[in-house]
Amino acid sequence: MTGWRPIVRAVGWVVVYLAAGLLLTALPFVLYIRYSPAPDTAALTGNSTALLLQGVAQLAVFGFLTWLIGRRVLKLSPAQLGWVSQGREKGFGRGLLGAMVLAGAALILGVALGGARWLPDTGGVLDYLRNVGLTTSVLAPAALAEEVAFRGLPLVLLASVFGRGSAIVVMSLIFGLAHGLNPDVTPLAIGNVALAGVFLSLAFYAPGGIWTAWGAHLGWNATLAALDAPVSGLPFRIPLINFDPGTVTWLTGGSFGPEGGVAATVVLCAGCLALARYVRKDDSA
């Protein structure tokens, strides 16, 4: 049985890690809002350049804290933190493809059962491909930053004292609550984001470690954006097509995107079950 000292130590470092990371990431934007003569707060969440800068800043902060606390203070190896070198490309590719299938399935369920549909929009194929590429580039650092923040050091530390299952639940709940201020958020949306956290945590424990989790995170977000659906409440302007979530918003997610609807709940549960079996099979090999 784990004594209370390792538990306090692990939980303490998780609190320090998350608090310091969130504070350092938010500080530049807080200073901008406080001291700018005419702060444009809408641009902080509605502008692709701002989202890219936020993702890069968050990645830099949590990457530094992972090195400082995880490597220098706690003496954890890169492999223990999920930064595996063997199989990272394959893991990233598998995570990417698997999450793309799940995201597409959530949208198709919304179309088939919830009245969602795609309508034609302005722009051509080249405009569409260029915009999807740029949007994916914006989403990539943010996806990796969230994996480092929520599926890296904190998950490893909590799993070392409470076990994987409990650690996954705790960090997934925190992950869901961290999206509680997103536009058009609902209780179901927070629950689905937490469920996505379970899926991504399982991906972290699959071969490829954090690279698999990053691929899964990016695959889900990029697929929704590429098909003109909002990503956790954030809309992305995609030429050529226009996604209409319909009126059955409890199923399709409405303006929050598929993560706000029951269709996403169904596909994420299926993804978690499949991935859990895969991870158990790999652990027993």
Give, in degrees to the nearest 5, the angle at Cα 177 between 259 and 28.
105
Using one digit for the tens of pLDDT, what is the confidence trace for 135-145?
999 999 999 99
Using one digit for the tens of pLDDT, what is the confidence trace for 173-231?
999 999 998 999 999 999 999 999 999 999 999 999 999 999 999 999 999 999 999 99
Contacts of residue 155, defined as CB under 8 A and 6 or more positions apart, other chains included, come to 167, 168, 171, 201, 204
> Residue 34 pLDDT more than 80?
no
Phi and psi (nearest 5°) for 121? -135, 175
Sign of CA dihedral 61, 184, 171, 14: positive
Give, in degrees to the nearest 5, the angle at Cα 223 between 186 and 153.
70
In angstroms, the CA 220 to CA 66 distance is: 25
**What's the confidence (pLDDT) of residue 36?**
61
Using one digit for the tens of pLDDT, what is the confidence trace for 75-89?
999 999 999 988 899
Using one digit for the tens of pLDDT, what is the confidence trace for 111-124?
999 999 999 999 99
Distances in Å between the Cα of 283 and the Cα atoms of 93, 202, 207, 222, 276 are: 20, 12, 10, 30, 11
pTM: 0.93
Torsion angle in degrees (nearest 10) through CA of 26, 29, 34, 40? -140
**What's the confidence (pLDDT) of residue 1?**
46
In the three-class reduction of DSSP (H, G, I as helix; E, B as strand; rest coil), residue 86 is classed as coil
Confidence of residue 52 (pLDDT cuts 50, 70, 90): confident
In angstroms, the CA 85 to CA 40 distance is: 42
Using one digit for the tens of pLDDT, what is the confidence trace for 147-181?
999 999 999 999 999 999 999 999 999 999 999 98
The distance in angstroms from the start CA to the end CA of the chain is 26
Contacts of residue 178, defined as CB under 8 A and 6 or more positions apart, other chains included, come to 150
In angstroms, the CA 44 to CA 53 distance is: 10
HSE, side-chain direction, 13 A CA sphere, residue 189: 23
Residues pairing with 244 in the sheet: 117
In the block, residue with structure tokens 């969230």: 146
In angstroms, the CA 34 to CA 143 distance is: 28
**What's the confidence (pLDDT) of residue 26?**
80
- How many structural domains comprise the chain? 1
Percentage of the chain modeled with pLDDT above 90: 82
Higher pLDDT, residue 283 or 201:
201
Per the structure, the complete domain to which residue 167 belongs is given by 4-284
**What's the confidence (pLDDT) of residue 280?**
85
The kind and range of the H/E element at 101 are helix 88-114
Distances in Å between the Cα of 36 and the Cα atoms of 29, 30, 32, 47 are: 10, 10, 5, 18
> Residue 57 pLDDT more than 50?
yes
In angstroms, the CA 175 to CA 197 distance is: 6
**What's the confidence (pLDDT) of residue 45?**
53
Interior/surface letters 136-150, b for 16+ CB within 10 angstroms, e for the rest = bebbbbbbbbbbbbb
